[in-house]
Amino acid sequence: MHQLKRKKVMVVGDLMLDVYTMGLVDRISPEAPVPVLRVTQENRKAGGAGNAILNLVTLGMEVIPLGRLGNDFAGRTFLETMKQENVDVRGIFIDDSFQTPLKNRIIASGQQIVRVDFENPTCLSPKMEKQIVASLSQLLEGVQVLAISDYAKGFLTPSFLSILIENAKIRAIPVIVDPKGIDFTRYRGATVIKPNLSEAVSAAGLGREATLDQIAARLISETEVESLIVTRSKEGISLFSHEGIREDYPAQVHEVKDVTGAGDTVLAILAAALANELTLSFAAELANIAAGLAIEKIGCARISLAELSARLLEIDTQLAFRTT
């Protein structure tokens, strides 16, 4: 993994706080037929696009976040996590009228039993959008890849997305999108879009009987992207080019524990690889391996170069053994 050098990556998207409340269940409540969790630990981490940011930091990249937070506990906690990681927070804007999304995952004996969300998705105001657009020229200086992480919380308005992608194209900066919703035309002109299988099927609108090749062809045509990457859970990752070439990468995972944040891991690996001018095929292969590592852990995982290298060596050793 020596090919991944420190590069500058901008991550744009919805910022939120992830809370993990962990403990033990050993009795049922006398008030209602529900388990009582005896809390033993609580962790707070940057979530949403923040998970992609932290994965890129772990990979050694210089990260420029662009997003918004509310003037609240969750927002302040998110900012503090960024500062602890020495992340440049100039591109994080505070919106007094916005509630920072918070997701609290309740985990008993390693098993998530419920998730409690505190959020009120609100579209970016025209005033703040104008302020953010005015900052783009300075924030994009020296950026080698732009990664968009859309969680449909209102920050990525159609008008802002259009301006953002156009600014990147003018500067010849590749744009990778982790999309949300069924209208992928919002991301028209991006370099790569990477939905999961369910998102791709819904966005293509061709019905459940359509083949993955047909779905990919429709999405590439509608969005005018160069490539489409579809994450397919236990089936791995499939890469499609606008020329109609398909490449499949089987899943590389030992044990599925938690799929939370795996998409952010894929986005981070793709961004780091493309920033280092690696081929998209190799980037997809690395992202597939990293996703396997991520879902072997509880919660949003940060995958290191050392872990990637170790898994690559393991896979190479297994292949060598099978061919002897």
Report, as residue numbers or ranges, the catalytic residues. Answer: 264
User: How many CB atoms neighbour CB 106 within 10 A?
Assistant: 19
**Cβ–Cβ < 8 Å for 309, 317:** no
- 226 burial class (0-12, 13-18, 19+ CB within 10 angstroms)? middle
**Cβ–Cβ < 8 Å for 122, 98:** yes
- Closest-CA residue to 274 (of 162, 185, 168): 168
d(CA 212, CA 201): 8
User: How many CB atoms neighbour CB 158 within 10 A?
Assistant: 13
User: How many CB atoms neighbour CB 238 within 10 A?
Assistant: 21
**Cβ–Cβ < 8 Å for 77, 17:** yes
User: How many CB atoms neighbour CB 268 within 10 A?
Assistant: 33
User: How many CB atoms neighbour CB 28 within 10 A?
Assistant: 11
**Cβ–Cβ < 8 Å for 16, 74:** yes
